Structure 1
Amino acid sequence: MPLVYLITGEQSGDILGARLMHAIRSRRPDVSFAGVGGSAMTAQGLDSLFPLRSLALMGLAEVLPKLFELNRLLRRTVADVQARAPDVVVTIDSPGFTLRVLKALQPTTLKRVHFVAPQVWAWRESRVKHFPGLWDELLCLLPFEPAFFARHNLSARFVGHPVLESGAGAGDAARFRQHHALRPEDTVVTVMPGSRQTEVSRLLPVLEQALKLLPDPVVPVVPLAGPVAEVVRQRTRSWPVRPILVSQDADKYDAFAASAVALTKSGTSTLELALANVPMLVTYRVNPVSYVIARRLIKVKYASILNLLLDREVVPELLQFDSRPDRLAAELHRLLNDPAAVAQQRAGFAQALAMLRPPLGSPSECAAEAVLSLLPAR
């Protein structure tokens, strides 16, 4: 049986990996899987080498205390890959970990695919010089990435963005309101603080205070990301208005459909909300040391993928020192009471999502074809 070894380091990569596994198996039922993943990949048959939460870190200041443990997990992963000798290694996003795995595997003859191009177009473009030889295929989610890598003599393939397969736009607002006994006049606000411990620790208190400052009461809904679900449960118990916590994707998408507005961190969550047509405000905070370093290196104008795709600020961004409860509350209040601003955002959503569609098939099908092209014939 051909063996595909998949490695990811965070929840978003776990979802990509699970869809990729499903698409591969639908074409090649004889393929088996091994590697590092989370609950979604486990549901597709992966027995993860270690728990995904061990790698759920972000930012220089957050990673440094865990450096010894991360190096241990890196060595363990590389040793497992070499022992199993898979037909293809697929690393998914999480460049801080996965690119180091690829570097360690570079002397081998193993076929390698990296899924989700490193965002070197955003910052530290000089890192591109370290990429030649790391992979046989680079799969990109954003349409402008292949041209960027071509300028550096690196081949890359646009496979489309997997958010299009998420089902985020298929929620049922009436079902959500009925299930949670909400009144027609209740205003639902989705709050998305992230899927990493550091994100949640920094953002949740700010988001709570912002909701308190709104002149009219709202019903907050917080989708729970696996690695931080228990932390979010604990930290929201003291909220004056206890939020509705949802853990399943179907419930999250129903919440989107019922939401008047969303307050979210930057990242894939913005694309999910756009697919659900939910007007939003983007915010983010990192460790101040990490922020000072990143600010000197980041080259792009926007944090939101939507704004990057359209090259204009369709979605308001309040980041780091601007991520204050009073600023967030004022912008949320404006979105809740300005139909023209909402219409402008939704027009931008349609434009951006059209740019993310692959040439043929679905994103996971395109990615699966790239992986299968490296497998031996039946």
Structure 2
Amino acid sequence: MALTRIYIVAGELSGDILGAGVMRELKARHPGVAFRGIGGPRMLAEGMHSCFALETLSVMGLVEVVKHLPELLRVRRTLKADALAWQPDVMLGIDAPDFNLGLERALRSTGITTAHYVSPSVWAWRQGRVKGIARSVDAMLTLLPFEADFYREHRVPVAFVGHPLADEMPLENDRQAARKALGLTPEALTLAILPGSRASEIRFMGTTFLAAAEALCRRFEALQVVIPAASPARHEALAALLAEHPALAARITLVDGQSREAMVASDAVLLTSGTAALEAMLCHRAMLVAYKMAPATHWLAKRLVKTPWISLPNLIAGEAIVPELIQDAATPETIAESLSAMLDDADERAALEARFATMHAALQRGASARAVDAIEALAAGQSLNQASFNEEPP
């Protein structure tokens, strides 16, 4: 059936990127399709009529959410009324689960078909939320295969569509070209350090990572270290830390952005957890994940989180293929020891790089096209065929 109206609500810039990809694919298949909801610059460029600015939903932290709650509830009521008046074929919420799932539930109760793109971390903590998700959506569209497994176990219709980052990043990359682009010595053993994009991550891990790097530079005389700074503020904080480690000055290259290039250039990567670990996997590089947080946060996380690992490569693999050093285990000594073993074993690194390339290919599915496949099936009143949406790629 031809789709004519799609309601899309994205909550932040990452959702704007995903939404724009879905809109492009929908326009290619259904010329004349119209879009309303909330979107950012990329979605606006694709023809979105945005009822509110994207930043309206970009509220982070408990205190901030509570402060803005009356406004957020007003926005949700307005969007509900707008969608009911417009009567879209499908309403698609992209991420922002605390906002979107409530809107999706309200619209679904009136008969509008709803889907949610990007699963919340319900598989990791507060798993009881899946019951509310089941009442809110006709289908969940997931980026990762283990997420789809979780929803199938709980009998929630799901489509594993693949990860847009996997689509974006090539299955082959050139280590030597990346080193040349960053001004690094082409043949030297190289370590990339990604201490995180948040100020708190630099505060908790910066000194630890640099102390580990000092130990590694004593162990490997030709080792070169590249550190990408995620923003000008992070660059300033890292430069201040490096000033306290003058012995490292000649061995470290601090660059602005270019985290992906730094990872491709490396033989091994030291990083905090999060999307960076997934990117390192998609760059096919051996890595060590080390992470510290405030003691109270760690105490709470240990009691709430239900997964055996924190890094996405291990969660995707279903086994510990990436070493994780968390909280008290993340000392300069243990980090340096683990990385020394990694840097000493070229054969093990090569095997892991091949494993990551295979995992990359499994995630590289054309996420936008598969998301639209699911939207079309839902709009036509078809149940998602789990076999076709979750089979291994050719």
Tell me the TM-score range normalised by the shorter chain.
Answer: 0.7 to 0.9
Q: Is the 8 Å Cα contact of residues 93 and 118 (structure 1) preserved in structure 2?
A: yes
| Correspondences of 1:18-167 after superposition (within 5 Å) | 18-36=20-38, 41=43, 49-50=52-53, 52=55, 55=58, 57=60, 63-72=61-70, 74-85=72-83, 87=88, 88-103=90-105, 105=107, 107-167=109-169
Task: Assess, with a 3 A threshold, how the Cα gap between structure 1 residues 326 and 21 changes in structure 2: closer, same or farther.
Answer: farther
Any idea what SS the aligned residue of 1:131 has? helix
Q: Is the 8 Å Cα contact of residues 15 and 94 (structure 2) preserved in structure 1?
A: yes
Indicate the residue corresponding to 1:370 in structure 2: 374
Q: Is the 8 Å Cα contact of residues 188 and 219 (structure 1) preserved in structure 2?
A: yes
In structure 1, distance between residues paired with 2:58 and 2:205 = 20
In structure 1, distance between residues paired with 2:176 and 2:330 = 32
Task: Assess, with a 3 A threshold, how the Cα gap between structure 1 residues 98 and 123 changes in structure 2: closer, same or farther.
Answer: same
Larger fraction in helix: 2
The Cα of 1:233 is off from its aligned counterpart by 3.0
Which residue identity is paired with 1:328?
I
The Cα of 1:32 is off from its aligned counterpart by 4.2
- The answer to whether structure 1 residue 259 and structure 2 residue 262 are counterparts is no
Q: String of CA shifts for 1:235-284, please: whole Å, max 9, x gaps.
A: 223242451122xxxx5443333122212232333232222211111223
- The answer to whether structure 1 residue 333 and structure 2 residue 340 are counterparts is yes
Q: Is the 8 Å Cα contact of residues 186 and 219 (structure 1) preserved in structure 2?
A: no
Q: Is the 8 Å Cα contact of residues 57 and 72 (structure 2) preserved in structure 1?
A: no
Which residue identity is paired with 2:154?
H
- Among candidates 244, 259, 266, match of residue 255 of structure 2: 244
Indicate the residue corresponding to 2:355 in structure 1: 348
Please, what TM-score do these two structures have when normalized by structure 2?
Answer: 0.76
Indicate the residue corresponding to 2:389 in structure 1: none
| Correspondences of 1:4-23 after superposition (within 5 Å) | 4-10=6-12, 12-23=14-25
- Among candidates 288, 293, 318, match of residue 281 of structure 1: 288
Which structure: larger Rg? 2
5+ long unaligned stretches in structure 1: 58-62
| Correspondences of 1:291-306 after superposition (within 5 Å) | 291-306=298-313
Q: Is the 8 Å Cα contact of residues 192 and 265 (structure 1) preserved in structure 2?
A: yes
Please, what TM-score do these two structures have when normalized by structure 1?
Answer: 0.79
Indicate the residue corresponding to 1:60 in structure 2: none
In structure 1, distance between residues paired with 2:331 and 2:71 = 37
Q: String of CA shifts for 1:63-108, please: whole Å, max 9, x gaps.
A: 2221324424532541442354262332223434433443555544
Task: Assess, with a 3 A threshold, how the Cα gap between structure 1 residues 183 and 30 changes in structure 2: closer, same or farther.
Answer: same
Alignment size in residue pairs: 361
The Cα of 1:50 is off from its aligned counterpart by 3.8
Q: String of CA shifts for 1:206-238, please: whole Å, max 9, x gaps.
A: 4344334432553323263xxxx3432332232
Which residue identity is paired with 1:259?
S
5+ long unaligned stretches in structure 2: 243-251, 381-394
